[in-house]
Amino acid sequence: MIKIFHELKLDESNTSAEFIDQTLTKIQRRQQGFYQIIDDVEMVQKIKDFAQKVEGKYKHIVVLAIGGSSLGTICLQQSLTHLYKPTSPTLHVLDNIDPAMISEIQDVIDYSKTLFIIVTKSGNTPEILAQYSYFKDQIDQKNLDAKEHFVVITDQNEGQMREIAKAEDFQTFPVPQDVGGRFSVLTSVGLLPAALIGIDIEKLLQGAKKMRDAFLSSDFDTNLPYQLAQIQFLLYKKGKNINVLMPYAQKLQRLSDWYRQLLAESIGKKFNDKKKEVYAGITPVNALGVTDQHSQSQLYNEGPNDKLIMFIEVENLGAEIKIPGLKEGTENLNGITFNKLLATEKAATQDSFTKNDRPTLTINIDEITPYTLGELFLLFEGSIAFLGEFLGINAFDQPGVELSKVLTKEYLETISA
């Protein structure tokens, strides 16, 4: 169960069932499938069948993906598997084209026991095409059957990677056209790698469906995505144009990375729906409690008052460890648990921000499980959809990113000319 705690006073006119329903209607007109794809039973079964078919066949899974195609998978891995013990098979996500990554991944994988998952929604992402080209060449040089070592997740009908998959007869999984990359973690993009390393994807989707029900509710107290978006919007209008997401759980560190793209790419827009220049945007910052109490909280307490700090606290962290007796001068730690110390530091940090008139909120979850992570994914995705409507912008396009892609192509053509 997820709860949101805050002390901000919201405008009652924007919390009525009528206003919520009107906003939901606007979202539905965008024809985005991020909250509907979780009902795709056929997709889930296809993923489960494939995972069962290849069980025990591979020692390594290497995902070739970037941005929205990779961050969700990295979050799933960090949140739902052992922090230090590798899964079987091991999962590696190559979310960059730094040649050091390309070189050094080969020091730890056995090509004959490796499955490469290529993820590109458009099918034309140059970084992913470059990665694929390199590893396909390596597979060919080793006289391995490429069909046994590549799976493609891409658009169902279009794109260069789709054409390659057809020509090579690779196993493919679709990225729905109405689901943007940064909203795709609950499609085959995130679900296939998750299933291959033993994560219960059905529980993940059950949690997402629970939050989807809240997202579609006209009751303000039930609709947590709407509540979160209202708080962000209210504070944005008051100059709080930076949002810090600070989970007090090591396993949720990569959730902040995933959310950073979701917020930045969805809300940072030059034009509103009426084609008027508005330069909307909330800058996301990821932090980790208690680590970043020591690296960031000085700025948040005494620097510009332009931030909303959003904490995530977890009631049951999966382990409880008592701190043994220490020497004189540290008696206040004797006999308490690390859990209590973590919770106490979170409370003290939050109170320090409040005393300095810095707004905060807390998202509280019972424990970190596939179910609760599914809830969190839909909480944030739904809140972004609402926030876009409050700002009067399209939260589902990314023209600024597309421009850099066009320029990259032009520059590459100049280099190769």
Tell me which residues are annotated as active site. 265, 294, 405
**Phi and psi (nearest 5°) for 143?**
60, 35
Distance CA 121, CA 119 (A): 7
